[in-house]
Structure 1
Amino acid sequence: MAAMARYFPNVLSAFHMEAEACRAGLLLAIYQEWDEFILESDCSLMVAALNQNLEDRSEVGRIIDDCKSYLTSLHSIKISHVFREANGVANRLAHLASSKFLNDVWLEEAPVIIQDVLYEDFCNCTRGQGSTSPSMHSF
Structure 2
Amino acid sequence: MGIAALARPFVHAHSVLNMEAEVCRAGLLLGIHQGWADVDIESDSAILIAALKSKEKNFSKVSRVLDDCKDYFDDFQSIQIRHIYHEANVVANRLAHLASSCSVDDVWLGETSAII
TM norm structure 1: 0.80
Amino acid in the other structure paired with 1:25: G
Determine which of 51, 54, 59 is the counterpart of 2:53. 51
- Any stretches of 5+ residues in structure 1 without a counterpart? 115-139
Give the distance between the partners of 1:101 and 1:9, measured in 2 at CA: 10
Give the distance between the partners of 2:20 and 2:29, measured in 1 at CA: 14
Shift of 1:61: 0.3
1:7·1:100 contact (CA, 8 Å) conserved in 2? no
Q: Deviations over 1:19-66 (max 9, x none)?
A: 000000000001101011111100011111011111110000000000
Give the distance between the partners of 1:108 and 1:76, measured in 2 at CA: 21
Amino acid in the other structure paired with 1:47: I
- Any stretches of 5+ residues in structure 2 without a counterpart? none
Give the distance between the partners of 1:11 and 1:35, measured in 2 at CA: 29
Give the distance between the partners of 1:109 and 1:26, measured in 2 at CA: 18
RMSD (Å), alpha carbons: 0.8
Q: Secondary structure at the match of 2:75?
A: coil
5 Å-filtered alignment, 1:26-105, equals 26-105=28-107
2:7·2:106 contact (CA, 8 Å) conserved in 1? yes
Q: Would you say how many aligned residue pairs link Structure 1 and Structure 2?
A: 114
Shift of 1:101: 3.4
Amino acid in the other structure paired with 2:11: P
Amino acid in the other structure paired with 1:27: L
Using the aligned pairs only, state the percent identity: 52
Q: Secondary structure at the match of 2:21?
A: helix
More displaced stretch, 99-108 vs 55-64? 99-108
Q: Secondary structure at the match of 2:6?
A: strand
2:8·2:103 contact (CA, 8 Å) conserved in 1? no
Runs of 4+ with >2 A deviation: none
TM norm structure 2: 0.95
